[in-house]
Amino acid sequence: TPDNHVERDPRLIRLTGIHPFNVEAPLSDLYDEGFLTTKDLFYVRNHGPVPRVEDFEVLDWQFSIEGMVENPVKLTLRDLLREYEQFTYPITLVCAGNRRKEQNMVRKTKGFSWGAAGVSTALWTGVGLWDLLGRAMPKRGARYVCFEGADRLPNGYYGTSVKLNWAVDANRGILVAHKMNGEALHPDHGKPLRIVIPGQIGGRSVKWLKRIIVTARPSDNWYHIYDNRVLPTMVDPEQSANLPETWEDERYAIYDLNTNSAICYPAHDERVSLVEKGVEMYKFKGYAYAGGGKRVTRMEVTLDKGKTWRLANITYHEDQYRDAPDGETLYGGRVDMSWREACFCWCFWDLDIPLADLADAKDVMVRAMDDSMMVQPRDMYWSVLGMMNNPWFRVVIHKED
């Protein structure tokens, strides 16, 4: 395949054929790695072949900032390291198609079947997009920032855009990143340079970054228009090809993530023993996230399809660093307070349930609530691309007694 220069972990589960490479980890393995996902199990969403970049070419990798700016520039990764402050933040990336498999089971969408592991978290290091744009100086009337990658695809380069006001805000923390968990980027994750947008769907975080273009209008890239959208639910796969105006309607483009959660334990095929000697509880465990800097503030579990709920414990990424002296040492870079109050990282939840309570339960379902009191819905919103699926997550309890 065109990607035979890329090394990959055999535990990753392929969701499409051999090429392009689209994979997720087994859900319980993802959970077991903890808050930070290694490059080995980090989900991968590639639309085409991975650009081949040799190690000796990395520092000379060049990208441009152009369009509606006073000072257009061409910069190399070497320039970024020499001239700009480096930031390191823990950021969760989520593919907008996470949990699409459940949608495909109801009615086939145009997308492939992600389980619930199309989400991962890493420490990303890079320079602030706000700093770069501060130097380039957007002109009056500029409203969007487009990004373009180096991968060549059937419909041109991969590209998309986000709103300029988000991109110039340091508290939103958009990075032009060159490291993941302290190491140079792995080829599948954008070697040598990518955008990382906290709190938004992964599809906006362009890999193998070549161009940043400041514009008055959203990106006209094919992938911006025909991917990462939630079209109205009545648009069906056959009809959808003939609706250019619907696709181009920017109101249907996804930016912020929605509130979502999953159960990692028990796994879908796990047998829960109700009669293990000396064991009285089963620990249910999983993850949750919200978008746009919102925090998951509540996690609930039901054993009776939503008639009654139990409150689960939530652990945030910063809890594990509680005893560390300050942000400087945590992430080897500056982490300011405004950042720490926002939440751009998933959280983990757990709940011990007495085995006796499981005797009559057929399944377990969970839902998360965020700090704007938005709660995951009971029902699915089906749409033609199968994106942003976030109804209550359900696992059947297989018992062993």
Comparison of 63 and 282: residue with beta carbon closer to ligand MTE: 63
Q: List CB contacts of 135: < 8 A, sequence separation 6 or more.
A: 71, 73
What's the CA gap between 336 and 42, in Å, rounded?
Answer: 26
What's the CA gap between 258 and 389, in Å, rounded?
Answer: 9
CB of 346 to ligand MTE, least distance (A): 14
| Residue 345 is a catalytic residue | no
- For residue 38, what is the DSSP state? P
| Residue 227 is a catalytic residue | yes
State the catalytic residue, choosing from 22, 228, 258, 390: 228
Q: Is 95 annotated as a binding residue?
A: yes
State the catalytic residue, choosing from 95, 146, 264, 345: 95
Comparison of 93 and 272: residue with beta carbon closer to ligand MTE: 93
CB of 271 to ligand MTE, least distance (A): 32
Chain center to CA of 170: 20
Q: Please report which residue ranges of 156-243 form alpha helices under DSSP H.
A: 164-167, 222-226, 237-240
Q: Are 78 and 151 in contact (CB under 8 A)?
A: no
> What is the binding site for ligand MTE (CB under 6 A)?
42-47, 93, 95, 149, 151, 158, 188-189, 202-203, 205-208
Comparison of 149 and 286: residue with beta carbon closer to ligand MTE: 149
Q: Are 25 and 41 in contact (CB under 8 A)?
A: yes
Q: State how far the alpha carbon of 143 is from the alpha carbons of 64, 161, 185, 198, 256, in Å.
A: 18, 10, 30, 19, 17
What's the CA gap between 352 and 197, in Å, rounded?
Answer: 35
Comparison of 19 and 394: residue with beta carbon closer to ligand MTE: 19
CB of 46 to ligand MTE, least distance (A): 5
| Residue 95 is a catalytic residue | yes
CB of 269 to ligand MTE, least distance (A): 25
Residues with a catalytic annotation lie at 95, 227-228
Binding site for Mo-molybdopterin, residues? 95
